[in-house]
Amino acid sequence: MTRRFRFPDGFLWGAATSAYQIEGSPLADGAGPSIWQRFAHTPGMMADGDTGDVACDHYRRYKDDVRLMRALGLQSYRFSVNWSRVLPEGTGRVNPKGLDFYSRLVDELLEHGIAPNVTLFHWDLPAALDDRGGWLNRDSAHWFADYATTMFRALDDRVPQWSTLNEPWVVVDGGYLRGALAPGHRNLYEAPIVAHNLMRASGAGIEAYRAHGRHAIGVVFNIEPKYPASDSAEDLAATRRAHAYMNLQFADPALLGSYPPELREVYGAAWPDVPADDFRLTRQPVDFVGLNYYTRAVVRHDADALPLRAAPVYQPHRTHTETGWEVYEQGLVDMLTGFRQRYGNLPLYITENGAAFYDPPVADGEVLPDPLRTDYLRRHLQAAHRAIEAGVDLRGYYAWSLLDNLEWSLGYAKRFGLYHVDFATQKRTPKASAKLYARVIASHGEALGEP
């Protein structure tokens, strides 16, 4: 008997992107540079010297891309705002042409029956604010709240859903600890300061929304379940540290008003004194939480893998994506149910889920076959359904990503899109995974039970 995968009424089907990865034209019409514009143009920081100068040219082709969304049957589109496109100096003067781009995009989505879901910060801090200390400056929370208020006043009459931050862990780990992402710092002492200021900023943004908004606002975390490589005390302790560092470091101050004790072990002498009153700001009530899931990690103790003293163990005989991530859909169920157990039955959305695999060359007029991505999508949507059956209040799913795009410092070689993009011509071609997703949306999940 074929299993039925009917999702609850009102479940929201969407896809996601981010500004620097798809828009292109980063300095057009009076926009200021972001830290990613600066980072991408620093020699040696990007694979193949790639930049976001053109990307998917979405800034000029957004109407065509909205028609692709409509062809999929999307009910919602999650995108981010380039802060420095709206506020070229990060604060103060508003750039009307930059703000108008997002207003026109919102109107185009609504005209096609697609609900806008706006993320205020997806890693592209204005370079002018980085020159003032960026997220190391406690004033960053106020900068963010002022920027958020500008967006709420302009768009909240038409935008039903907002997120403050996307994946603050990546900003901290990649941007301030390991230097692989903008702004390219490598400093253990900076990392916890930036983490704390990001959560203060998120709280300040939510507080501003309560004064100016009238719909729903939340925050988006990336989650990656950690499983011990053995039952040894060392491996179990390493797994707890890795879990606290990646999965609790940001959710706990936002939802519990505290930090997990393992972070003191991770950061050691770099752990800062946090004013107790700060948690009043970080723990602002949210309407939902977005969770981004891609893979899991099996963890062993490794004294040389600082600061965690924990290292991932490669799992042989498993499917891995082009980014080296193991395909493990049960991890999605485990993290969703674990999140519910720790924080209560909050409304949740899967705000990113997808995979980079090799795509063969496109033949004219054909749908591009991508069996591994199609299988990944099917398995993870089935896992999402199992989480709902287990009692998780899961309200929607956003595939990552609508389009092949700039995969940050990895450049254009890693393709996550439902639509293939020929970056030389900007031609979009649907992949088989897009066709599956369209069937899933049209059947409200029942196509997942097809043989």
Catalytic residues, which ones?
A: 167, 352
- SS3 string, the chain, reads CCCCCCCCCCCEEEEECCHHHHCCCCCHHHCCCEHHHHHHCCCCCCHHHCCCCCCCCHHHHHHHHHHHHHHHCCCEEEEECCHHHHCCCCCCCCCHHHHHHHHHHHHHHHHCCCEEEEEEECCCCEHHHHCCCHHHCCCHHHHHHHHHHHHHHHHCCCCCEEEEEECHHHHHHHHHHCCCCCCCCCCCCHHHHHHHHHHHHHHHHHHHHHHHCCCEEEEEEEECCEEECCCCHHHHHHHHHHHHHHHHCCHHHHHCCCCCCHHHHHHHHHCCCCCCCHHHHHCCCCCEEEEEECCCEEEEECCCCCCCCEEECCCCCCCECCCCCECCCHHHHHHHHHHHHHHCCCCEEEEECCCCCCCCCCCCCCCECCHHHHHHHHHHHHHHHHHHHCCCCEEEEEEECCECCCCHHHCCCCCCCCEEEECCCCEEEEEHHHHHHHHHHHCCCHHHHCC
